[in-house]
Each structure stands twice: as C-alpha cells, then as structure tokens.
C-alpha cells in the first residue's frame, strides 16, 4: 500500500513541531498527529482571563542558555525578565517577608552553602532527604534547603535523586534570570508549526512497525501509513501504556521509562478585584502550606492586572488534585490570607475562571514534570498524606487564630501549632554583621549573604538589630533584642 506520507510525527508539542519542521526543510513529506485540539502541548496561553496573556501551562524561559532562545529570536517575540532573587518574597510558615530579611536571620545562615553543595555533588546517588541529613541543616536553614531542592522538581525529598537534580541544572535555575514571552508562550509553537500539516483530534491508540513502514491507528479507527514515524509523546503517557507498540519497545527504552518518574504540577489562576501584594513582587516562595510558589502575571508589564498564579509541585499538587476546582481556589485564597494577614483575600477574589464568567476547562490546570529518582529509591509516587503535603513538622510560625472564612479550607493544610526555635545570636548593629557571618559561614558564603543584603534590601529601610530580621514572631531571637525597622523619611 502506498504510504500517506514519508514521516508521521506523533504529538504537536514543541518537540513534535520542531522535528517536523526540520524534516520538512530537508525535503521530506511530514504529517503531525495531535490528540488534542491545538498545537503546543504543555504551552497553553489564555487571552480572555485578564488584561495580559495568562499561561495555563509552561510559562518561563529558564536562563540565558535555554534551547528555545534561537527560535524565540527568529520569531521576533518580545520577552520580559523575571528575576529569581531580586523582588522575591519568602514565607517559612508565617507572613510573607522580603528575601533579604529571611537570609539575614542567623537561623538561615547554614543554608547559605546549599547551592554550592548541589553543584559539587558527585556519585554515588542518594535521595534528597539523605543529602539534607548529611548537611545537618536545622530549623529555618532546613526549610530553606528543602525549598531549594523541591521548588522545581515535582517530588518529595524521599523521591528526588540528587544526580537527577544536578543534571537538571537546578543550581543554575535557582540563581538565573527567567523570561516570559510578552504576547504568550503559545506564539512559539505556533510560529514553528505554522507551515506544517497538523491533524488535531487524532488520538493514537496503536503503533505497528512493519518491514516496509509504520501504521498508526487512532481510538476512532482511523489509520495512517508512513515510511517511518517519530514519537514525541510525554514520558507519562508512554509509561502509562496509553499507546500500544507492536512489537514492544526495546528493553532499554522500557527501563528508561520505568526509572523516569512523572510528578504532578498544578496551577490555579486567581483574579482579584485589586492588587494587594507589593507592586514590585516577582515571586513568593513558600516553605509550608498548600502552594510552592505564587507570582503575579503583570510583573513588569506596566499594567495593574490583579492576577496571581498559585503553583504547587509534588505532594502539594497531588493533595490539591484530590479536591474540586472551587475548593482548590478557596484553599489558595485562604493560604494567601496567611501570607498577607492584613488583607481580606476572600473578599478580593472575584474569579478563578474566564473573565467572561464562563468557567475555563480547568482553572486548576494540572500537568506533570519528570524527575529521576535516586537509584534503588523512589519506585513509585505514593499518595501523599496531609503531613507530607504541607510539611507541618517544619511549620515555623503558624498563622495565629485566623478569622473565619466563608470559603472552605482543606483539613490537609491545617497548620499545626508548633514552632521551631532558631539559633540565638548576640545583637549586632548592621556594620558589625560581617564578623559573625564570617565566623559562622566562612569568607565565601558570608560575602554572598552580605552581597544579597546590599543588593536586595528595600530602599529606605534601616535595620537596627540583625539577630532577628523577621516580623513573624519566630522564637529564638534572644531576650530583649526588640528588632526595630524604621523607614527613613524625607529622603
């Protein structure tokens, strides 16, 4: 039988459309089949949720060395920088605070070496938990180090392998500069696949290899025939056996699919009647609670579009996936009330669907990312318990007596009334912080912390004591320290 085309490409995500375009440029006749109703895969942009495009899927260009940069430049797409350190807030269990305040607390200093420890890690492989135990981080430092290991990969510290984490470049992701595509990330696969033959709604059920070609059969019984085929389906789809291969895949590929673990990632899109977070906020990282990160869509757009992305990974995302979309949005709103206790977040939340009032297909836009478990560990993704989901054993400063909310809050994220005492330190004026830091951390790490303070501290704020630079009431600052933060006037 005559082939329908030279090459069939399964999947119209970035990998699929890029492969198809390159083959087309070499003179091959190529057809792309896609099970969904659009091109882009994990890249999905909404343009009717607010004033700016909102990414319901992948959102950032990670670092200056991202492989997508040549295509973005060729397409003429504008981008906006999103720094990971500057304009960052942090919560270790209490209200949100600016990153310099958290880093200058003595209880955080031991975590200053975490990125260097990751970058210098070498075999044999261990789990992230074992790696943290060897570091002997405690209290606030333990929370900061654990956040560093779990902010990007969608697993718990028992499921993430250090060699996989290092090969994923997490130590660079934590310190690099991200960018957004100004007009929406979906413009990129749209540009790459603009001249291709793409058939959407073709859900592949069976791939049959024969000496003279390849057959594809859809769940609707439609068949296509080509001389060869390329499969760009996600690891999770292949590992689940959703597509049957005849003959079976080689042992090496089956082994790779078994060792690669897909972990859940979940986004909740929240639109408010007005902005209640600082205008210059780029990202808010959480060491406890139902969410891993929050970030505003309108950062550096010049608009005041009051939309936040609530982002959960690993066990937190798995726990949220167990509840309905309305409850997930309510949980996020309740958590934001903990982070910004002076704001009635429930009253400000106006939508977690389309701006027209019609619900989007999934405001809690769930997807998955891949992680390599430590050898001999992480053989599966167990259903998280409430304790594992939010890590209450490391809850440093639970929200005191929150006011009743009209919105439900999942019991899985109820804070435990427990505090962890942080290191005591002698009161020191700011000019004298250099000495204690060098004594505790060493020259290299001390200079890194001091540099962060000098670069990131809010303009016009004077710290009169440095033994406790937080305002959330964390224990262990030392009796009589009475931290005072006073804003300079008339400057």
Per-residue pLDDT tens over the stretch 90-141? 999 899 999 988 888 899 999 989 988 998 899 999 999 999 999 999 999 9
Examine residue 339 and state whether it is found in any structural domain, yes or no: yes
What b/e readout covers 258-274, taking b as 16+ CB neighbours within 10 angstroms?
A: eebbbbbbbbbbbbbee
Query: 38-92, pLDDT tens digit by residue?
Result: 999 999 999 988 888 999 999 999 888 888 999 999 999 999 998 877 789 999 9
Q: Any idea what the Cα angle at residue 270 is, between residues 310 and 168, rounded to 5°? A: 25
Whether 465 is in a domain gets the answer yes
Cis check for the bond before 124: say yes or no (omega within 30 of 0): yes
**pLDDT value for 151:** 81
Domain edge (last residue) among 197, 216, 249? 249
Asked if 294 and 438 sit in the same domain, the reply is no
Asked if residue 34 lies in contact with residue 256, where contact means CB atoms within 8 angstroms, the answer is no
DSSP label at residue 161: B
CATH of the domain at 231: 3.50.50.60
For residue 209, what are the contacts with CB-CB under 8 A and spacing of at least 6?
Answer: 245, 246, 247
Instruction: Please indicate, yes or no, if residue 78 is contained in any of the structural domains.
Output: no
Query: Which tens digits make up the pLDDT trace of 278-335?
Result: 999 999 999 999 999 999 999 988 888 899 999 999 899 999 988 888 999 999 999 9
454: number of Cβ within 10 Å = 9
List the Cα angle 478/112/341 in 5-degree steps: 60
* Residue 256 within a domain: no
- Tokens standing for residue 41: 């895969």
Question: How high is the pLDDT of residue 359?
Answer: 29
- End position of a domain, from candidates 368, 387, 413: 413
Same-domain pairing of 115 and 170: yes
For the segment 205-214, the average pLDDT, to the nearest whole number, is 94
3-state secondary structure of 359: coil
Q: Identify the residue with better confidence: 24 or 323.
A: 24
Co-location of 406 and 294 in the same domain: yes
- What sign has the CA pseudo-torsion 148, 153, 157, 160? negative
Residue 98 in any domain: the answer is yes
The confidence band for 232, taking pLDDT boundaries of 50, 70 and 90, is very high
170 and 282 in one domain? yes
Q: What pLDDT digit, counting tens, does each position of 393-431 carry?
A: 222 233 333 344 443 333 333 333 222 222 223 333 333
Report which of 36, 105, 62, 77 is spatially closest to residue 420, judged by C-alpha positions: 105
Instruction: With respect to residue 449, please indicate whether it lies within any of the assigned structural domains.
Output: yes
For residue 126, the model assigns a pLDDT of 94
Task: Give the range of the structural domain holding residue 395, as residue numbers without chain letter.
Answer: 85-175+261-413
User: What is the β-pairing status of strands 177-181 and 79-83?
Assistant: antiparallel
Q: Do 371 and 336 reside in the same domain of the chain?
A: yes
pLDDT at position 486 is 31
CA distance 297 to 306: 8
The confidence band for 487, taking pLDDT boundaries of 50, 70 and 90, is very low
Sheet holding 30-34, edge to edge: 197-200, 30-34, 5-10, 223-231, 213-218, 204-210, 244-246
Q: What is the pLDDT of residue 302?
A: 83
What is the structure's pLDDT at 481? 28
Same domain as 266, residue 398: yes
**pTM for this model (two decimals):** 0.72
Same domain, 91 and 133: yes
Q: What domain count does the chain have?
A: 3
User: 358-380 burial, b for 16+ CB within 10 Å, e for fewer?
Assistant: eebebbbbbbbbbbbbbeebbee
- pLDDT for position 1: 52
> Could you tell me if 229 and 276 lie in one domain?
no
Beta bridge partners of 365: 267
User: Could you give the CA distance from residue 142 to residue 114 in angstroms, rounded to a whole number?
Assistant: 10
333: nearest Cα among 408, 250, 434: 408
Phi-psi region of 439 (alpha: psi -120 to 50; beta: other; left: phi over 0): alpha
Rounded CA separation 254/448 (Å): 44
- Tell whether 371 and 293 lie within a shared domain: yes
Q: Where are the beta strands (DSSP E) in 240-328?
A: 244-246, 260-272, 283-286, 293-296, 307-313
Cβ atoms of 276 and 340 closer than 8 Å: yes
374 pLDDT above the threshold of 70 = no
Which tens digit of pLDDT belongs to each residue from 137-179?
999 999 999 998 888 778 889 988 899 888 877 777 777 789 9
Confidence of residue 452 (pLDDT cuts 50, 70, 90): very low
Asked if 114 and 206 sit in the same domain, the reply is no
Q: How far apart are the first and last CA of the chain?
A: 81
- Closest C-alpha among 189, 182, 170 to residue 62: 170
Element (H, E) at 145: helix 139-150
d(C-alpha 489, C-alpha 491), whole Å? 6
Q: What is the pLDDT of residues 251-288, one digit of tens each?
A: 999 998 888 777 888 999 999 999 999 999 999 999 99
Residues 26 and 159 in one domain: no
Burial label for 73, CB within 10 Å (0-12, 13-18, 19+), is exposed
Which domain-ending residue is among 249, 274, 291? 249
Question: Are residues 163 and 137 part of one domain?
Answer: yes
Q: In this predicted structure, what is the pLDDT of residue 86?
A: 76
């Amino acid at each position: 039988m005559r082939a329908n085309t030279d090459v069939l490409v399964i999947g119209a995500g970035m990998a699929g459309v890029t492969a198809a375009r390159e083959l087309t440029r070499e003179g091959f006749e190529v057809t792309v089949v896609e099970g969904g109703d659009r091109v882009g895969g994990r890249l999905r942009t909404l343009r009717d949720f607010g004033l700016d495009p909102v990414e319901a899927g992948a959102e950032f260009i990670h670092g200056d060395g991202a492989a997508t940069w040549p295509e973005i430049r060729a397409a003429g797409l504008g981008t906006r920088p999103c720094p990971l350190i500057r304009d960052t807030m942090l919560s270790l269990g209490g209200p949100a605070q600016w990153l310099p305040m958290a880093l200058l607390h003595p209880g955080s200093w031991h975590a200053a070496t975490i990125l260097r420890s990751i970058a210098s890690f070498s075999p044999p492989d261990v789990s992230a938990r074992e790696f943290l135990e060897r570091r002997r981080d405690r209290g606030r430092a333990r929370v900061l180090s654990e956040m560093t290991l779990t902010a990007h990969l969608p697993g718990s510290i028992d499921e993430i392998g250090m060699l996989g984490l290092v090969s994923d470049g997490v130590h660079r992701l934590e310190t690099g500069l991200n960018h957004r595509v100004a007009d929406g990330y979906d413009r990129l696969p749209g540009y790459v696949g603009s001249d291709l033959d793409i058939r959407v709604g073709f859900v592949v059920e069976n791939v049959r290899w024969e000496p003279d070609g390849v057959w594809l059969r859809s769940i609707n019984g439609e068949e296509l025939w080509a001389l060869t085929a390329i499969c760009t389906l996600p690891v999770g789809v292949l590992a689940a056996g959703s597509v049957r291969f005849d003959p079976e895949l080689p042992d090496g590929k089956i082994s790779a699919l078994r060792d690669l673990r897909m972990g859940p990632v979940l986004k909740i899109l929240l639109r408010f009647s007005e902005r209640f977070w600082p205008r210059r906020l780029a990202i808010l990282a959480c060491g406890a609670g139902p969410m891993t990160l929050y970030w505003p869509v309108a950062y550096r757009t010049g608009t005041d579009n009051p939309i936040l992305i609530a982002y959960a990974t690993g066990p937190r995302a798995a726990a949220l996936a167990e509840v309905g979309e309305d409850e997930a949005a309510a949980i996020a709103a309740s958590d934001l009330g903990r982070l910004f206790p002076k704001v009635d977040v429930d009253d400000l939340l106006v939508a977690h669907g389309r701006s027209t009032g019609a619900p989007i297909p999934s405001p809690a836009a769930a997807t998955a990312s891949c992680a390599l478990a430590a050898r001999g560990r992480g053989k599966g993704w167990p259903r998280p318990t409430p304790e594992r989901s939010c890590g209450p054993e490391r809850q440093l400063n639970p929200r005191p007596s929150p006011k009743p909310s009209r919105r439900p809050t999942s019991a899985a994220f109820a804070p435990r009334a427990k505090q962890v005492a942080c290191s005591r330190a002698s009161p020191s004026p700011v000019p004298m912080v250099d000495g204690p830091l060098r004594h505790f951390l060493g020259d290299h790490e001390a200079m890194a912390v001091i540099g962060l303070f000098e670069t990131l501290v809010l303009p016009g704020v004077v710290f009169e004591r440095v033994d406790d630079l937080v305002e959330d009431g964390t224990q262990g600052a030392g009796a009589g320290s009475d931290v005072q933060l006073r804003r300079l006037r008339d400057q």
